[in-house]
A and B are shown apart, each in its own frame.
Chain A
Amino acid sequence: MQIDLTVNGKQTFIDVEPRLLLVHALRDSLNLTGTHVGCDTSSCGACTVLLDGVSVKSCTVFAVQASGHEVTTIEGIGTADSLHPMQEAFWTAHGLQCGYCTTGMIVSAVDLLKRNPDPSDDEIRAGLEGNLCRCTGYENIVKAVRAAGAAMRAGDPRHSVNELMPIHPPTVEPPPSGEAIIPQQLQEAKV
């Protein structure tokens, strides 16, 4: 059946089977692969998106249920040119290791700060109870949420990825297509 989803502010019409989960509609039909499938059993929160502005686990919502409603995915939270303060804070506070849980963590944390702009560490931990991280423990994730809260309360401007980590242009002209770039030292060492 045809459904009407407004995803990251853009209205789209897609044809789905009723049993298609929202997470699969986002990833497979709309190519928004920032939302991850982790446990697939409503426990881990890797698939968290905002539905009408509140955090939900998109592995436990049928796409048809979201028809006529607004979905915000991690792609709608911020972009490489304009990172959400939460994205910047996860980066600068080292709130991730492998990154698998990160997008869900960020969406949940954004929802948490909407309800409670200045949470205590205990409130941050309780607010992220629906998101599991298997890498690092939660210490730096809590620090990141705290830092993002401070930045948002202070009204700090958003930054781009390039501002935070400038990507330098290549110093050597790329060779014609098909040829490898061989570093100078390696060329000299060639026998």
Chain B
Amino acid sequence: MIPAAFDYVRASSVDDALRLLAEHGDDAKLLAGGHSLIPMMKLRLAAPAVLIDIAGIPQLDGIAASGGRVTIGALTKHAALAASDDLRKHAPALWDAANDLGDPQVRNRGTIGGASAHGDPSADYPAVLQALDATFTLAGKGGTREIRAAEFFLGMFETALGANELLTRIAFDAAPNSAYVKFHHPASHYAVVGAAVVLTLSGGTIAAARVAITGIGDAAFRAGGVESALQGVNPNDAVAVKAATAGAARGVQARADTFASASYRAAMADVFAARAVAKAASAR
């Protein structure tokens, strides 16, 4: 499959990328690892006139963990996240997702920023980054702005990233009691359903929880009802956790396809949320 013709330019810095975006306007797309964009271009679902390759921009790649805060450059590859001991210790939910995403070749090429900006409704990071309550830094002509994950993922392939903006980094507070568990599609490796959980534990019970689900609706979402129901629950009490995670996808229009019906997806949201709670409680 051959994509439609386009012009290719390389950006040498964030400012250079922003200048090129402003110059080419809506006709241009940013290219990082290309593992969401290139398949869409090959299917002619996307046909940008200009590709601005940002893969070579320095300082956008890397993981830094200090003072209880984790900062990840947007060009950091899945494989680097999957191999990071810092991430395994400080944010096992994201480490889980990076390890369970795609396959080795995809992880060697795809980036956290590219996958996030793509806004795929079955992607893993949108759930994990919402559960981590991550902050996204977006660079634009007038400077940078910060936006929380819950406000970033808007809908199917739709994010808050402006046409002339560049996602530069993602940051969140360390969450040692966190986990991501997914029912992965055997062929595509995308999440049929994925649940990310971040717990604050106090004296053997859950003091606070953040729960986010992907694969069900048009975009990953926070399961607010489950979060409040989990307060005060002993995470090792399977019956209580099951009761608290029931109805995780309530109020969300679930998608259906040949692999999973809408009601099955909604039922699996409960099951995988409960599994993620148990896994998060035993992390560390």
User: Which A residues are closer than 8 A to B by beta carbons?
Assistant: 1, 17-19, 21, 40-43, 45, 48, 51, 54-57, 60-62, 64-65, 108, 111-112, 127, 129-131
Q: Which 3 A-B residue pairings sit nearest by Cβ, starting from the closest?
A: A130-B103, A18-B8, A129-B103
Contact A55:B108 (CB < 8 A) given known A62-B34, A65-B53: yes
Q: How far is the CA of A1 from the CA of B4 in the complex (A)?
A: 16
The number of inter-chain residue pairs (CB within 8 angstroms) is 74
Q: Closest B residue to A52 by CB, please name it.
A: B108
In the bound complex, CA of A40 to CA of B39 (Å): 9
What is the CA–CA distance of A43 and B55 in the complex, to the nearest angstrom? 22
Chain B interface, >50% SS class: loop
Q: Are A17 and B5 in contact (CB under 8 A)?
A: yes
Residues of A within 8 A of B138 (CB): none
Cα separation A65 to B39 with both chains bound (whole Å): 15
The distance in angstroms between the C-alpha atoms of A40 and B188, with both chains bound, is 14
Residues of chain B whose beta carbon lies under 8 Å from any beta carbon of chain A: 1-8, 31, 34-35, 38-39, 41-42, 51, 53, 55, 79, 102-106, 108-109, 187-189
Bound Cα distance from A55 to B3, whole angstroms: 23
Which residues does chain B contribute within 8 Å of A65, judged by CB atoms?
31, 34, 53, 55
B2 nearest CB neighbor, chain A only = A19
A18 engages B5 (CB within 8 Å): yes
B11, chain A: closest CB distance, angstroms: 13
Output the nearest chain B residue to A127 by Cβ-Cβ distance.
B104
Which chain A residue has the least Cβ–Cβ distance from B5?
Answer: A19
B8 near A64: Cβ-Cβ < 8 Å: yes
Do A45 and B8 have beta carbons less than 8 Å apart?
A: no
